[in-house]
Amino acid sequence: MKRTDYEEITIPVGQASLKGDLFIPEDAHAFVIFSHGSGSSRKSTRNRMVAERLHRDGIGTLLFDLLTEQEDQYYPNRFNIDLLTARLKAATHWIERRYGARDYPIGYFGASTGAASALKAAAALPEIKAVVSRGGRPDMAHGDLGKVNAPVLLIVGELDHNVIELNRYAYDQLRCQKKTVIIPGATHLFEEPGTLEQAAEAACAWFGKYLLPAKITKDDF
């Protein structure tokens, strides 16, 4: 994989140009692509905190905007899961070609509605080796959940009651290796002290097990 400590990139997808933030540490052994939720962007402080935690484990990351600024102004685009999935798949292929990521295990991290596009893309791309959903809406990928082969971790806040039920539905539809982690005292955005850190540790443990099996193991996974 072509190493870059940090690089602002532009990913061409059809007629669109998508802005991204790429980080590949010197000792990178795997790669995780983030799919953010509606109304968010590559600048999401929550996703960036998770990304920084992944870097410490030798995992490169890409955070990118799935929509252009103009596209994002049209509100229905934010919930067009098929469009977002197509953008995620295209960005994955571009990173594989441009930076040699094809030779490394690749995972997806999806938040909110971004979890649905991550799961739908994973169902179509055999190179995706692990998926993590944080406060996600995996139920919105309902038609493809049974096709996902990559191990899936669903992270939900204990106080995010409606989303817990939607994740339970999705969990039942998944036929792959799967696990749900409930973060005590957390609401949907994991704003409570320490809850986002717990979610990040759970995500890193999952990626560690399935992207870096020889390097990182967690007994509770």
The three state secondary structure string of the chain is CCCEEEEEEEEEECCEEEEEEEEECCCCCEEEEEECCCCCCCCCHHHHHHHHHHHCCCEEEEEECCCCHHHHCCHHHHHCHHHHHHHHHHHHHHHHHHHCHHHCCEEEEEECCHHHHHHHHHHHCCCEEEEEEECCCHHHHCCCHHHCCCCEEEEEECCCHHHHHHHHHHHHHCCCCEEEEEECCCCCCCCCCCHHHHHHHHHHHHHHHHHCCCCCCCCCC
pLDDT attached to residue 174: 98
pLDDT attached to residue 27: 81
pLDDT attached to residue 5: 78
Token code pair at residue 110:
């999806």
pLDDT attached to residue 161: 96
pLDDT attached to residue 99: 81
Separation CA 44–CA 67 (nearest Å): 14
Structural domains of the chain ordered from first start: 4-211 (3.40.50.1820)
Stated pTM of the model:
0.92
pLDDT attached to residue 219: 44
Separation CA 196–CA 190 (nearest Å): 5
Mean pLDDT by 10 residues, the chain (221 residues): 80 92 90 84 86 93 92 85 96 90 89 95 97 96 96 98 97 98 96 96 97 59 47
Q: Which residues contact 100 (CB under 8 A, 6 or more apart)?
A: 1, 2
Separation CA 140–CA 91 (nearest Å): 21
Separation CA 94–CA 8 (nearest Å): 15
* CA-closest candidate to residue 156, choices 122, 217, 112: 112
